[in-house]
Chain A
Amino acid sequence: MSEPSQETSASTQFDELPTAPPKRKIRLSWPGKIGVSVLIFWAIIVVIGPTIAPYHEADILDEELFIVPGSDEMYPDTDFQPPSSIVLLGSDYLGRDTLSRILFGARTTIGISLLATLLAYLIGVTLGIAAAVGSKFLDMCLSRVNDALLSIPSIMFALVLIAALNSPGIFWLILIAGFIYAASVFRIARSLGQEVMVSDFVEAAKVRGEGLWWIITREVLPNIAMPLATDFGLRFVWVILFISSLSFLGLGVQPPMSDWGSMVKENLSGLVYGSVAPLMPALAIATLTISVNMIVDDISAATGGKLAKRMIS
Chain B
Amino acid sequence: MSDLLEVDNLRISARNDDDELTPIVKGVSFTVGRGEVVALIGESGSGKTTIALSSLGYTKPGLEFTGGEVRLEGEDVISMDSDQLRGLRGHRVAYLAQSAAATFNPALTIGEQVTETCVLHGILTQEEADARAETLYRALELPDPDKLGKRYPHQVSGGQLQRLMAATALCGKPDLLVLDEPTTALDVTTQIEVLKAFKSVIKQEGAAAIYVTHDLSVVAQIADHIVVLYAGEIQEYDTAEQVVEKPSHDYTRRLMHAVRPPPAAGQGDETTGEHRREAPALEVKDLLAGYGRIQSGLPAIPVLRDVNVAIERGHSVGIIGESGCGKSTLARVMAGLLPAAEGQVLLDGEELKPALEQRKREELQKIQFVFQMADTALNPRQRIDNILGRPLEFYLGLKGNEKRRRIGELLDMVELPQEFAGRYPEELSGGQKQRINLARALAASPEVLLCDEVISALDSIVGANVIELLKRLRKQTGVSFVFISHDLSTVASFADEIVVLYAGRVVEKGVTDKVLSPPYHPYTRLLISSVPELRVGWLEETMQTQEAQAGIDRVVTLKDKGCPFFDRCPVAIEDTCDQETPPVRTLAGNHAIECHRSEAEFAH
Contacts and interface: CB of A to CB of B under 8 A. Distances in A.
B336 A222 contact: no
Interface residues on A, range: 20 to 34
A203 B238 CA distance: 47
A204 B371 contact: yes
A148 B336 CA distance: 37
Contact of B364 (A17, A24, A208): A208
A255 interface: no
A266 interface: no
B237 A207 contact: no
Interface string B230-256: 110111111100100000111100100
B335 A18 contact: no
A222 B254 CA distance: 41
Contacts, number: 119
B30 interface: yes
Contact of A206 (B248, B337, B365, B375): B337
A219 interface: yes
A203 to B, nearest CB: 6
A14 interface: yes
Interface string A1-42: 111111111101010111110011001000000000000000
A200 interface: yes
B430 A16 contact: yes
A5 B369 contact: no
B237 A6 contact: yes
B45 A18 contact: yes
B390 A208 contact: yes
Contacts of B375: 19
Interface in A197-217: 199-201, 203-204, 206-210
A254 interface: no
A14 B377 CA distance: 26
B236 A201 contact: no
B371 A200 contact: yes
A269 interface: no
A204 B377 contact: yes
Given A1-B3, A201-B376, A222-B381, A207 B336 contact: yes
A17 B236 contact: no
A280 to B, nearest CB: 38
A16 B459 contact: yes
Contacts of A8: 233-235
B429 interface: yes
B537 interface: no
B160 interface: no
B45 A27 contact: no
A218 B238 CA distance: 53
B337 A203 contact: yes
Interface string A59-96: 00000000000000000000000000000000000000
Nearest to A8: B233
A275 B304 CA distance: 77
A200 B17 contact: no
Interface in B344-386: 356, 359, 361, 364-365, 368-369, 371-373, 375-382
Nearest to B424: A23
A208 B373 contact: no
B391 A208 contact: yes
B29 to A, nearest CB: 8
B379 A201 contact: yes
A6 B46 CA distance: 17
Interface string B4-39: 000000000000010000000000011101000000
Nearest to A25: B17
A222 B387 CA distance: 14
Contacts of B376: 199-201
A51 interface: no
Nearest to A27: B17
Contact of A1 (B31, B230, B336, B380): B31
Interface in A201-257: 201, 203-204, 206-210, 218-219, 222-223
A207 B394 contact: no
A18 B45 CA distance: 7
B440 A5 contact: no
A2 B381 contact: no
A3 B242 CA distance: 13
A206 B45 CA distance: 34
Contacts of A10: 249-250
B8 to A, nearest CB: 11
Given A6-B234, A209-B394, A17 B379 contact: no
A202 to B, nearest CB: 8
CB-CB nearest 3 A-B residue pairs: A17-B45, A222-B381, A200-B377
22 contacts: A1-B31, A1-B33, A2-B33, A4-B238, A5-B236, A5-B237, A5-B248, A7-B235, A12-B230, A12-B235, A12-B251, A16-B430, A17-B44, A17-B46, A19-B44, A27-B17, A200-B371, A200-B376, A201-B377, A201-B378, A208-B444, A209-B364
Interface of B: 3, 17, 29-31, 33, 43-46, 225, 230-231, 233-239, 242, 248-251, 254, 335-337, 356, 359, 361, 364-365, 368-369, 371-373, 375-382, 390-391, 394-395, 426, 429-432, 440, 444, 459, 461-462
Given A8-B234, A17-B44, A19-B45, 18 more contacts: A2-B31, A3-B29, A4-B238, A5-B236, A5-B238, A5-B249, A7-B249, A10-B250, A14-B251, A14-B254, A16-B459, A19-B430, A23-B426, A200-B376, A201-B376, A208-B391, A219-B379, A223-B379
